């Protein structure tokens, strides 16, 4: 008996009892746990009772065929990582293509070659184990980095507060000490900005979207209000043009992060005495749109190739010495994808960046 296989269970789905017996006997002899099912309906019942490590699924069955069963399995989040190997007759090549497109990982033709069947079963069970281990490692890594980042954020905030208190008493210190305190403030501000962006990036990767109808113009107006003071400090004007009042389906936290990142970047990279414009245009379509445009340096051709990559540093530099992590636009891209939205950089003449964001309209508010 193969002890490595003793903990692994395989669900065999076939309407022919002879096939169930042949395949089941072979796999049992190799130490695998075998769960037989003679129909698609029975297979789904047994899946619900105890998910297996791998599924061998017959293509042609009365009632629910293999393709339909495969699609139903993959529709369940808790089952979609289970590899499915299809069992097909040698002449079913077109069906095999459909099966692989439906989500199957492999196929074995009838009549079965025992060595081939065992080889494919072992291969896909090994691949699943490797994926599971990588998933655990990735989750452990994310958890550890999140803990470290949160702790680092707290320590940096304490350092920043202490340096701020020293800076407020600058008249008591020498010029050299004042410069040192100023350097500490600047460094902690940069590190805090990076940690906050890092945590926002982690949050975007694991966002569980709680979409609901939201008035887009109100969300845009609120975001503009949040950035007016920052913009005024740099002598940048933020103007808002509301031409429509669409209701979109979006996650409130996710949409706020999208708006904050786009407005924050526009203000960060715009020179003084320029304007940032936010528009909600009137468009009779199945989606709603808002546009954020600035009069900054825009993007080079090289910038455009890595515009939405994580940590993709671009050619433009903040005009007020603000920190930049290269995470903002990648966060925006992932948040919008999670909300069935999209973002594109519009081509235009002259300087500046112009981003157009599209979000789905709420069903009761379609034109």
Query: Of 161, 183, 205, which one is at a domain's C-terminal end?
Result: 205
Closest CA relative to residue 338, chosen from 208, 230, 172: 208
- DSSP per-residue string spanning 261-318: HHHHHHHHTSPTT-EEEEEE----SSEEEEEEE--S----HHHHHTTTSTT---S---
Query: Do 217 and 200 share a structural domain?
Result: no
Query: Do 337 and 216 share a structural domain?
Result: yes
Task: Give the DSSP H or E segment for 356.
Answer: strand 354-360
State how far Cα 76 lies from the chain centre. 19
Residue 118 domain-assigned (yes or no):
no
Compute the chain's Rg from CA coordinates: 28
Whether residue 147 contacts residue 195, with contact meaning beta carbons closer than 8 Å, is answered with no
Residue 133 domain-assigned (yes or no):
no
CB atoms under 10 Å from CB of 232, counted, come to 12
Residue 270 domain-assigned (yes or no):
yes
Average pLDDT over residues 131-140: 82
User: What domain count does the chain have?
Assistant: 3
CATH code of the domain containing 242: 3.30.565.10
Looking at the DSSP bridge assignments, the partners of residue 343 are 357
Residue 183 domain-assigned (yes or no):
yes
Query: Of 112, 127, 146, which one is at a domain's C-terminal end?
Result: 112
Residue 221 domain-assigned (yes or no):
yes
Model confidence over 303-349: pLDDT tens digits? 787 787 766 667 777 786 666 666 678 888 888 988 999 999 987 54
- State which residues form the domain around 58: 7-112
State residue 355 phi and psi, 5-degree precision: -105, 135
Query: Of 97, 112, 127, which one is at a domain's C-terminal end?
Result: 112
Query: Do 357 and 217 share a structural domain?
Result: yes
Residue 143 domain-assigned (yes or no):
yes
Model confidence over 237-252: pLDDT tens digits? 999 999 989 999 998 8
Model confidence over 31-78: pLDDT tens digits? 999 999 999 999 999 999 999 999 999 988 888 888 999 999 998 888
Query: Do 153 and 84 share a structural domain?
Result: no
Query: Do 351 and 218 share a structural domain?
Result: yes
Closest CA relative to residue 230, chosen from 169, 163, 318: 318
pTM: 0.54
Residue 265 domain-assigned (yes or no):
yes
Query: Do 344 and 249 share a structural domain?
Result: yes
pLDDT of residue 203: 62
Residue 121 domain-assigned (yes or no):
no
CA distance 172 to 166: 9
């Amino acid at each position: 008996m193969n002890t490595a296989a003793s903990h692994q269970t395989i669900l065999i789905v076939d309407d022919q009892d002879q096939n169930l017996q042949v395949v089941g006997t072979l796999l049992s002899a190799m130490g695998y746990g075998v769960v037989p099912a003679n129909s698609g309906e029975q297979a789904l019942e047994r899946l619900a009772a105890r998910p297996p490590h791998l599924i061998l699924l017959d293509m042609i069955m009365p009632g629910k065929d293999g393709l339909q069963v495969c699609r139903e399995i993959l529709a369940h989040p808790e089952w979609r990582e289970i590899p499915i190997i299809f069992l097909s007759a040698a002449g079913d090549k077109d069906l095999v293509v459909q099966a692989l497109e439906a989500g199957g990982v492999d196929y074995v033709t009838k009549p079965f070659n025992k060595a081939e069947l065992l080889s494919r079963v072992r291969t896909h069970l090994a691949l699943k184990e490797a994926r599971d281990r990588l998933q655990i490692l990735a989750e452990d890594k994310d958890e550890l980095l999140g803990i470290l980042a949160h702790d680092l954020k707290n320590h940096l905030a304490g350092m920043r507060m202490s340096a701020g208190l020293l800076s407020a008493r600058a008249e008591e210190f020498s010029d050299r000490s004042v410069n040192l305190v100023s350097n500490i403030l600047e460094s902690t501000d940069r590190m805090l900005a990076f940690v906050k962006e890092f945590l926002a990036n982690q949050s975007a990767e694991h966002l569980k979207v709680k979409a609901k109808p939201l008035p887009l113009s109100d969300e845009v107006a609120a975001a503009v209000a949040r950035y007016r003071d920052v913009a005024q400090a740099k002598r940048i004007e933020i103007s808002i043009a509301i031409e429509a009042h669409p209701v979109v389906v979006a996650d409130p936290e996710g949409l706020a992060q999208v708006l904050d990142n786009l407005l924050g970047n526009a203000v960060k990279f715009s020179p003084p005495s320029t304007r940032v414009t936010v528009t909600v245009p009137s468009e009779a379509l199945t989606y709603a749109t808002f546009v954020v445009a600035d009069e900054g340096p825009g993007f080079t051709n090289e910038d455009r190739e890595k515009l939405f990559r994580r940590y993709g540093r671009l050619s433009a530099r903040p005009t007020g010495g603000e920190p930049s992590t290269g995470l903002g636009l990648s966060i925006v891209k992932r948040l919008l994808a999670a909300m069935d939205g999209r973002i594109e950089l519009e081509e235009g003449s002259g300087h500046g960046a112009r981003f157009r964001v599209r979000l789905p309209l709420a069903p009761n508010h379609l034109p």
